[in-house]
A and B are shown apart, each in its own frame.
Chain A
């Protein structure tokens, strides 16, 4: 049975925020910094302010950002990462793509539990310390890293013995226990910058219909720190992704199972994919198709893009009602700003057919593919070892 969305939305129309409900962690963080227990990395330069779930305003640093990359994005959906870099460059904000960064290791942790609270906190703090040393402010690409780091911050604030242990480990590395003033996900940056992005839009998206899958680890872990806007879903769901898509003129369509996870499962996507495939297609893609029939599903986390995109092929073979393009809102925004679908957005790494979507966007994908092939041929002829940012905009 389909859930009566209209009736539910109407019932919740009078929702008001209870600002007292969520404990503001910042005072505690400042106290710990004042007493020398932690080193706090401050936000500097130009910022934007966006509201969080219970009304606290979160400051988002616009430029001079340290890209805390995602292994799942860089490894399997590289156009996700390159689109983030590209949009930032186009808007004129500087950033650093460091080699002094490890994965947050949380994918493995949530899959196999072969780690512990101290190790997970130490990995997070090591990356924060590495960012701090450069003076660039960390921006977290992965939803799981972001959620996990918020948990780590909470645990470090709550447990002095954990702080002591992590400080000891950091000392052996010649580092301090560093935490940033705000933990910021890239989708929060895109949300905060959505009007600047829309101002540079070159492709018309007014005929594009999208559905949004909000990522569990973005808004369910340490929920009070996620972005909610009273003007988007009446503040009932996170505003990131949706508000950006609307700013770009796309039509965001509703569907009943928006709260459901994608089915990634951390271990399931690798070793129990029957579960992942079934959940992703039966509870998400088929629901969207039946209730909203979108041109594309937009989401803002590594695992969700992978799961929703890769799960459709096998299900299609069973004649199920699937077949929707899947991408991150970063790739969607890049396409809106005129990015090349292959050189920048790297859509050839995706599985679900995105070509009908490109056609609706007015992009000649055959010509675009030929352009990409011409670049590859230059690499094969040895004219260049690698493509660079000038090449992708050529």
Chain B
């Protein structure tokens, strides 16, 4: 089955003909069923104000207007194409909230990304390539950015100061006057009990299982770390 009206992208233009219309429709239904979707889309004037405000539109072949229009028209083929080719360009700055119609194209993209992750789409796997270390950090330690990430080979474009930080890391952290900031592998000192509570959140909201399809290795490592910690605390899932 396909959509037949002239307002929809035909599959050979939208590409991804190896995926059935039914599968694409199922994915869009998942986007639409998110509680936030109805808050994020009220139709579209096609005025382009969101595009004028959008940083990603300046540097990529990307447009929040196209995202809002495709969602408003329920153009299943085009939405699938966007999920595979466009959504990871967005900067999630939410400048597009300037929309006079009250739309939130950036928010629609957040939901489309979630659905891509949940369903292990290729675009999601690619987007997460090189990113798994960060997910590991945030899910397992409770802070995303740690001082020891500042390595000159990871950030050569940030100038020689990155090398100074990494060469003096332990000493410079000990020179910070706040008790919680002497850490090097986490942003601050997060208590054990707090971490246990965070792990319970990842398990009980399904956030941990979301990454199973896109990065099974990372999922297995995180699951083991968390289960072990919870077991130590005598908590059964």
Instruction: List chain A positions with a Cβ less than 8 A from chain B.
Output: 69-76, 78, 81-82, 85-86, 97-103, 105, 107-119, 122-123, 126, 130, 147, 154-155, 158-159, 161-162, 165, 168-169, 172-173, 175, 216-217, 220-221, 223, 259-261, 263-268, 270-271, 273, 275, 277-279, 283, 310, 313-314, 343-344, 346, 348-351, 372, 375-376, 379-380, 385-389, 391-392
Contacts and interface: CB of A to CB of B under 8 A. Distances in A.
A50 to B, nearest CB: 22
Nearest to A72: B145
Contact of B158 (A108, A310, A344): A310
Interface of B: 34-36, 39, 53, 55-56, 58-60, 88, 91-95, 97-98, 110, 113-114, 116-117, 124, 127-128, 130-131, 134-135, 138-139, 142-147, 149-150, 155, 157-159, 161-162, 164-165, 171-182, 186-191, 193-195, 197-198, 200-202, 204-207, 210-211, 214
A377 to B, nearest CB: 10
Contact of A376 (B162, B171, B205): B171
Given A108-B144, A113-B117, A350-B161, A172 B204 contact: yes
A168 B56 CA distance: 38
Nearest to B159: A313
A119 B207 contact: yes
A375 B175 contact: yes
B37 to A, nearest CB: 11
A114 B133 CA distance: 13
Contact of B55 (A111, A260, A389): A260
A103 B188 CA distance: 10
- 6 residue pairs, one from A and one from B, having the closest CB atoms: A113-B113, A313-B159, A71-B187, A102-B142, A75-B145, A119-B207
A103 B190 CA distance: 9
B177 A100 contact: no
Contact of A82 (B53, B171, B177): B177
B157 A278 contact: no
Contacts of A169: 200-201, 204-205
B174 A391 contact: no
A310 B149 CA distance: 14
A103 B92 contact: no
A74 B187 contact: yes
B91 A263 contact: yes
Given A76-B150, A112-B131, 4 more contacts: A74-B187, A155-B39, A169-B205, A376-B171
A327 to B, nearest CB: 14
Contacts of B91: 261, 263-266, 268, 275
Contacts of B138: 103, 105, 107-108
22 contacts: A72-B145, A74-B143, A74-B180, A75-B145, A78-B147, A81-B181, A99-B189, A100-B191, A103-B138, A108-B134, A112-B117, A116-B206, A162-B35, A259-B53, A263-B91, A275-B60, A283-B58, A348-B161, A350-B161, A376-B172, A380-B171, A386-B179
Given A172-B204, A261-B93, A267-B88, A159 B176 contact: no
Contact of A75 (B142, B143, B172, B182): B143
Nearest to A73: B187
A259 B95 contact: yes
Residue of B139, B206, B207 with highest tally of chain A CB at under 10 A: B207
B61 to A, nearest CB: 13
B180 A126 contact: no
B206 A119 contact: yes
Residue of B98, B131, B181, B194 with highest tally of chain A CB at under 10 A: B181
A103 B144 contact: yes
Nearest to A215: B93
A25 to B, nearest CB: 14
